[in-house]
Amino acid sequence: MAKIWFITGSSRGLGRSLTEAVLATGDKVAATARNPQQLDDLKTKYPDTLYSIKLDVTDHDQVVTAVSDAVRHFGRIDVLVNNAGFGITGAAEAYTQEQVNSQLATNLFAPIDITRTVLPYMRKQRSGFIMEVSSLGGRVGTSGLTIYQASKWGLSGFSEALAEEVAPLGIKVTCVEPGGFRTNWAGDSMEYAADVEGYEATVGKRSEYFRSGKWVPLGDPDKAAQVMVKLADEPNPPVHLVLGSEAIAILGNVNTRREEEMKKWLPVSLSTDADDADKEQFLSTEFAKRFK
Protein backbone atom coordinates (compact mmCIF):
# COMPACT_ATOMS: atom_id res chain seq x y z
CA MET A 1 0.00 0.00 0.00
CA ALA A 2 1.29 3.45 -0.90
CA LYS A 3 2.57 5.52 2.01
CA ILE A 4 1.45 9.08 2.65
CA TRP A 5 4.33 11.51 3.24
CA PHE A 6 4.14 15.02 4.72
CA ILE A 7 7.30 16.93 3.76
CA THR A 8 8.17 20.50 4.73
CA GLY A 9 10.48 22.68 2.68
CA SER A 10 9.72 20.56 -0.37
CA SER A 11 10.31 23.14 -3.11
CA ARG A 12 14.12 23.11 -3.14
CA GLY A 13 17.25 21.47 -1.81
CA LEU A 14 16.97 18.15 -0.04
CA GLY A 15 13.21 18.60 0.32
CA ARG A 16 12.78 18.85 -3.45
CA SER A 17 15.00 15.82 -4.05
CA LEU A 18 13.08 13.82 -1.48
CA THR A 19 9.68 14.83 -2.85
CA GLU A 20 10.69 13.72 -6.34
CA ALA A 21 12.16 10.44 -5.06
CA VAL A 22 9.04 9.61 -3.05
CA LEU A 23 6.69 10.35 -5.93
CA ALA A 24 8.77 8.17 -8.24
CA THR A 25 8.06 5.17 -5.98
CA GLY A 26 4.30 5.61 -6.29
CA ASP A 27 3.88 6.93 -2.75
CA LYS A 28 1.85 10.09 -2.15
CA VAL A 29 3.14 13.41 -0.85
CA ALA A 30 1.58 16.34 0.94
CA ALA A 31 4.32 18.77 -0.05
CA THR A 32 4.49 22.04 1.84
CA ALA A 33 6.34 25.18 0.87
CA ARG A 34 6.13 28.92 1.30
CA ASN A 35 5.74 29.15 -2.49
CA PRO A 36 3.93 25.97 -3.59
CA GLN A 37 3.80 27.17 -7.19
CA GLN A 38 7.45 26.08 -7.36
CA LEU A 39 6.04 22.55 -7.34
CA ASP A 40 3.76 23.08 -10.34
CA ASP A 41 5.97 20.99 -12.64
CA LEU A 42 5.73 18.04 -10.27
CA LYS A 43 1.99 18.60 -9.88
CA THR A 44 1.62 18.28 -13.65
CA LYS A 45 3.65 15.06 -13.66
CA TYR A 46 2.01 13.56 -10.56
CA PRO A 47 -1.53 15.05 -10.46
CA ASP A 48 -3.00 12.28 -8.32
CA THR A 49 -0.17 11.70 -5.84
CA LEU A 50 1.17 15.19 -5.14
CA TYR A 51 -0.87 17.56 -2.99
CA SER A 52 0.88 20.91 -2.56
CA ILE A 53 0.14 23.07 0.46
CA LYS A 54 1.19 26.63 1.18
CA LEU A 55 2.83 26.69 4.61
CA ASP A 56 4.89 29.05 6.71
CA VAL A 57 6.22 26.53 9.24
CA THR A 58 6.56 29.23 11.90
CA ASP A 59 2.82 29.95 11.87
CA HIS A 60 1.05 27.56 14.26
CA ASP A 61 -2.41 28.14 12.81
CA GLN A 62 -1.12 27.36 9.31
CA VAL A 63 0.57 24.21 10.65
CA VAL A 64 -2.68 22.92 12.15
CA THR A 65 -4.58 23.70 8.96
CA ALA A 66 -1.94 22.11 6.70
CA VAL A 67 -1.80 18.88 8.69
CA SER A 68 -5.59 18.52 8.90
CA ASP A 69 -5.85 19.37 5.20
CA ALA A 70 -3.34 16.65 4.30
CA VAL A 71 -5.21 14.10 6.42
CA ARG A 72 -8.53 15.14 4.87
CA HIS A 73 -7.07 14.80 1.37
CA PHE A 74 -5.14 11.53 1.76
CA GLY A 75 -6.77 9.99 4.84
CA ARG A 76 -3.66 9.72 7.01
CA ILE A 77 0.03 10.61 7.37
CA ASP A 78 2.48 7.72 7.45
CA VAL A 79 5.79 9.57 7.19
CA LEU A 80 6.52 13.07 8.48
CA VAL A 81 9.71 14.75 7.30
CA ASN A 82 10.58 18.03 8.98
CA ASN A 83 13.06 19.36 6.45
CA ALA A 84 12.42 23.12 6.23
CA GLY A 85 15.23 25.26 7.59
CA PHE A 86 18.01 27.69 6.78
CA GLY A 87 21.47 28.68 7.98
CA ILE A 88 22.83 31.83 9.54
CA THR A 89 26.50 32.76 10.07
CA GLY A 90 28.04 35.29 12.41
CA ALA A 91 29.48 35.90 15.87
CA ALA A 92 27.11 35.03 18.72
CA GLU A 93 27.06 38.63 19.95
CA ALA A 94 26.50 40.03 16.45
CA TYR A 95 23.10 38.57 15.63
CA THR A 96 20.10 40.79 15.93
CA GLN A 97 17.34 39.51 18.19
CA GLU A 98 15.18 39.12 15.10
CA GLN A 99 17.82 36.85 13.50
CA VAL A 100 18.07 34.70 16.63
CA ASN A 101 14.30 34.40 16.93
CA SER A 102 13.88 33.60 13.23
CA GLN A 103 16.55 30.89 13.29
CA LEU A 104 15.15 29.15 16.35
CA ALA A 105 11.56 29.55 15.15
CA THR A 106 12.24 27.91 11.79
CA ASN A 107 14.83 25.26 12.67
CA LEU A 108 13.69 24.19 16.15
CA PHE A 109 10.29 25.44 17.26
CA ALA A 110 8.63 24.70 13.89
CA PRO A 111 9.61 21.02 13.64
CA ILE A 112 8.60 20.52 17.27
CA ASP A 113 5.25 22.20 16.56
CA ILE A 114 4.63 20.16 13.40
CA THR A 115 5.63 16.93 15.12
CA ARG A 116 3.29 17.63 18.03
CA THR A 117 0.48 18.39 15.56
CA VAL A 118 0.99 15.15 13.59
CA LEU A 119 1.51 12.90 16.62
CA PRO A 120 -2.18 12.57 17.63
CA TYR A 121 -2.97 11.17 14.18
CA MET A 122 -0.08 8.71 14.32
CA ARG A 123 -0.95 7.75 17.89
CA LYS A 124 -4.49 6.84 16.83
CA GLN A 125 -3.09 4.87 13.87
CA ARG A 126 -0.55 3.18 16.18
CA SER A 127 1.94 3.65 13.36
CA GLY A 128 4.10 6.27 11.72
CA PHE A 129 7.63 7.37 10.97
CA ILE A 130 9.03 10.80 11.86
CA MET A 131 12.23 12.01 10.22
CA GLU A 132 13.67 15.16 11.74
CA VAL A 133 16.29 16.68 9.44
CA SER A 134 18.94 18.04 11.77
CA SER A 135 22.60 18.35 10.78
CA LEU A 136 26.14 17.37 11.60
CA GLY A 137 25.84 20.76 13.28
CA GLY A 138 23.49 19.08 15.74
CA ARG A 139 26.43 17.01 17.01
CA VAL A 140 29.44 19.30 16.49
CA GLY A 141 30.01 22.93 17.49
CA THR A 142 31.63 25.30 14.99
CA SER A 143 32.52 28.97 15.32
CA GLY A 144 30.29 31.23 13.31
CA LEU A 145 27.29 28.92 13.51
CA THR A 146 26.33 29.20 17.18
CA ILE A 147 22.64 29.97 16.71
CA TYR A 148 22.18 27.59 13.79
CA GLN A 149 23.80 24.83 15.79
CA ALA A 150 21.82 25.68 18.91
CA SER A 151 18.70 24.97 16.86
CA LYS A 152 20.06 21.72 15.46
CA TRP A 153 21.42 20.42 18.79
CA GLY A 154 17.97 21.08 20.20
CA LEU A 155 16.31 19.16 17.38
CA SER A 156 18.67 16.20 17.75
CA GLY A 157 17.99 16.03 21.49
CA PHE A 158 14.25 16.33 20.96
CA SER A 159 14.37 13.50 18.42
CA GLU A 160 16.31 11.16 20.69
CA ALA A 161 13.92 11.65 23.60
CA LEU A 162 10.87 11.44 21.34
CA ALA A 163 12.03 8.13 19.83
CA GLU A 164 11.94 6.51 23.26
CA GLU A 165 8.64 8.15 24.16
CA VAL A 166 6.64 7.03 21.12
CA ALA A 167 8.18 3.60 20.45
CA PRO A 168 5.40 1.77 22.39
CA LEU A 169 2.88 3.45 20.08
CA GLY A 170 4.39 1.91 16.96
CA ILE A 171 5.91 5.22 15.89
CA LYS A 172 9.54 5.39 14.76
CA VAL A 173 11.80 8.43 14.90
CA THR A 174 15.08 9.06 13.09
CA CYS A 175 17.10 12.25 13.33
CA VAL A 176 18.79 12.64 9.94
CA GLU A 177 22.11 14.46 10.38
CA PRO A 178 23.71 15.40 7.06
CA GLY A 179 27.12 16.92 6.62
CA GLY A 180 27.73 19.19 3.65
CA PHE A 181 25.41 18.54 0.72
CA ARG A 182 25.16 20.28 -2.63
CA THR A 183 22.05 22.30 -1.90
CA ASN A 184 21.70 26.07 -1.56
CA TRP A 185 22.32 25.96 2.22
CA ALA A 186 25.44 28.14 1.99
CA GLY A 187 23.98 30.08 -0.95
CA ASP A 188 20.52 31.62 -1.10
CA SER A 189 19.47 29.95 2.16
CA MET A 190 22.35 31.44 4.16
CA GLU A 191 21.97 34.66 6.13
CA TYR A 192 24.72 36.64 7.85
CA ALA A 193 25.10 38.77 10.94
CA ALA A 194 27.03 42.02 10.80
CA ASP A 195 30.81 41.73 11.16
CA VAL A 196 32.22 42.43 14.61
CA GLU A 197 35.83 43.39 15.37
CA GLY A 198 37.92 40.66 16.99
CA TYR A 199 36.43 37.61 15.25
CA GLU A 200 38.37 37.84 11.99
CA ALA A 201 40.34 34.62 12.56
CA THR A 202 37.30 32.50 13.43
CA VAL A 203 33.89 33.75 12.34
CA GLY A 204 35.38 36.02 9.71
CA LYS A 205 37.15 33.18 7.93
CA ARG A 206 34.03 31.05 7.89
CA SER A 207 31.86 33.85 6.52
CA GLU A 208 34.43 34.63 3.85
CA TYR A 209 34.62 30.96 2.86
CA PHE A 210 30.86 30.58 2.50
CA ARG A 211 30.52 33.83 0.57
CA SER A 212 33.38 32.97 -1.78
CA GLY A 213 31.50 30.05 -3.28
CA LYS A 214 34.64 27.90 -2.93
CA TRP A 215 32.95 25.42 -0.58
CA VAL A 216 31.95 22.41 -2.64
CA PRO A 217 30.27 19.86 -0.36
CA LEU A 218 30.74 16.14 -0.93
CA GLY A 219 27.10 15.15 -0.43
CA ASP A 220 24.58 14.52 -3.21
CA PRO A 221 21.02 15.43 -2.10
CA ASP A 222 19.48 12.99 -4.60
CA LYS A 223 21.44 10.13 -3.01
CA ALA A 224 20.39 11.31 0.47
CA ALA A 225 16.78 11.31 -0.71
CA GLN A 226 17.08 7.70 -1.89
CA VAL A 227 18.44 6.72 1.53
CA MET A 228 15.50 8.39 3.25
CA VAL A 229 12.98 6.67 0.97
CA LYS A 230 14.49 3.27 1.85
CA LEU A 231 14.69 4.27 5.52
CA ALA A 232 10.89 4.56 5.64
CA ASP A 233 10.69 0.77 5.14
CA GLU A 234 13.33 -0.07 7.72
CA PRO A 235 11.83 -2.10 10.60
CA ASN A 236 14.55 -1.02 13.05
CA PRO A 237 15.78 2.41 11.95
CA PRO A 238 18.56 4.26 13.76
CA VAL A 239 17.68 7.10 16.10
CA HIS A 240 20.55 9.11 14.58
CA LEU A 241 21.56 8.71 10.94
CA VAL A 242 24.67 10.66 9.92
CA LEU A 243 24.92 11.22 6.15
CA GLY A 244 28.11 11.87 4.19
CA SER A 245 31.74 10.84 4.50
CA GLU A 246 32.66 14.40 5.51
CA ALA A 247 30.27 14.22 8.46
CA ILE A 248 31.50 10.76 9.48
CA ALA A 249 35.14 11.89 9.49
CA ILE A 250 34.46 15.07 11.46
CA LEU A 251 32.20 13.35 13.97
CA GLY A 252 34.72 10.56 14.52
CA ASN A 253 37.45 13.07 15.37
CA VAL A 254 35.16 15.08 17.63
CA ASN A 255 33.95 11.97 19.48
CA THR A 256 37.57 10.97 20.15
CA ARG A 257 38.38 14.40 21.57
CA ARG A 258 35.28 14.35 23.76
CA GLU A 259 36.16 10.91 25.12
CA GLU A 260 39.69 12.07 25.89
CA GLU A 261 38.40 15.21 27.62
CA MET A 262 35.92 13.21 29.71
CA LYS A 263 38.64 10.79 30.84
CA LYS A 264 41.00 13.64 31.70
CA TRP A 265 38.42 15.30 33.91
CA LEU A 266 36.85 12.08 35.24
CA PRO A 267 38.28 12.46 38.81
CA VAL A 268 36.70 15.92 39.01
CA SER A 269 33.39 14.61 37.67
CA LEU A 270 33.27 11.77 40.20
CA SER A 271 34.31 14.00 43.10
CA THR A 272 30.94 15.75 43.15
CA ASP A 273 28.86 12.75 44.36
CA ALA A 274 27.19 13.08 47.74
CA ASP A 275 29.09 11.36 50.57
CA ASP A 276 26.30 8.82 51.05
CA ALA A 277 25.70 8.22 47.33
CA ASP A 278 25.19 4.56 46.44
CA LYS A 279 26.43 4.22 42.86
CA GLU A 280 25.60 0.53 42.50
CA GLN A 281 22.07 1.04 43.76
CA PHE A 282 21.55 3.86 41.28
CA LEU A 283 22.89 1.82 38.36
CA SER A 284 20.33 -0.89 39.13
CA THR A 285 17.38 1.49 38.77
CA GLU A 286 15.15 1.36 35.71
CA PHE A 287 16.20 4.91 34.83
CA ALA A 288 19.88 4.01 34.68
CA LYS A 289 19.30 0.76 32.82
CA ARG A 290 17.88 2.66 29.89
CA PHE A 291 21.35 4.01 29.14
CA LYS A 292 23.18 0.69 29.10
Q: Kindly list the catalytic residues.
A: 134, 148, 152
| Sign of the Cα pseudo-torsion (273, 276, 281, 282, in order) | negative
H or E stretch including 7?
A: strand 4-7
Closest CA to 58 of 27, 96, 84: 84
In terms of Cβ atoms closer than 10 Å to its own Cβ (0-12, 13-18, 19+), residue 189 is: middle
The Cα–Cα gap between 238 and 227 comes to 12
Which residues, including other chains, have CB under 8 Å from residue 32's CB and lie 6 or more apart? 6, 7, 8, 9, 10, 52, 53, 54, 55, 57, 66, 84
The Cα–Cα gap between 49 and 88 comes to 34
| Total Cβ atoms within 10 A of residue 209 | 14
Long-range Cβ contacts of 100-103 (<8 Å, 24+ apart) = 100/147, 102/58, 103/147, 103/148, 103/151
The Cα–Cα gap between 19 and 104 comes to 25
